[in-house]
Structure 1
Amino acid sequence: MNLKPVQLSTNYAYCLPHPFYQTSEAYALEPLILIRLIYGTFFILLGLVFWRLKPVNILSGYDEKKVLDKEGLAKWISGNLLLTGLLIILNASLDIAGSNPVEKSVLLDFLIIFTMAVLTALGTGRYEKK
């Protein structure tokens, strides 16, 4: 058995080598990756709900009198939610595979969410009366 000493904070522990990581200190990232996969899946499911059910009346600031195309608005929002979820899952998958393009990939997730929220909000103006 190939056991090697690894320092975990202040204590030493013996562990088997992990297939993705060199040290066991990276084990702390695994629950975080799972959480990222869960909220990426949540964005995808929310996008599917908007695509199929078109619940645009739950949106903040939605006024039925101002909206020209309810179907188009729901399609725009669902597409952006689906893209956000896919980008987050892709980023988490790259983290799992070990090819981490950004050292702080969770920060990249927040950047994705913020950017897509701004793009979604800016794009909704197409579906409102001037």
Structure 2
Amino acid sequence: MSKIAGAARVVKGVGKLRATKAALTLTPAAVNRVKKLLESDKQAKALKIGIQQKGCSGLTYTLNFATEKQKFDEEVEQDGAKIWVDPKAQLSLLGSEMDFVESKLSAEFVFRNPNIKGTCGCGESFSL
């Protein structure tokens, strides 16, 4: 299990340590929202992020409450907010920032993902 506290983590290599890119970072707004969501469901231990094939561009994010970390889930813990990333989503989310944005009409998590090559017109799906 690897825990990520900030934007980078240290990985033990052959004879020396090297920094690697974080799987995912959270903005303060996302941290606060994740904490509130986890407090609302007493059984959940983390939010689990995945991707599935759906929408015009091919892929969409999934967010679910999770009670148990699976063997290959990547754990991201930042300021008390815990996220587990599904193994199938790890490479596509690498280096992404998760934010929580509220407006008069909506409240949603937004992913700023440098790996995305295109999105659909409504912004619900993406392609890599």
Q: Shorter-chain TM-score category?
A: under 0.3
Using structure 2 for the length normalisation, give the TM-score: 0.21
Pair member with larger Rg = 1
Using structure 1 for the length normalisation, give the TM-score: 0.21
| Higher share of residues assigned strand | 2
| Higher share of residues assigned helix | 1
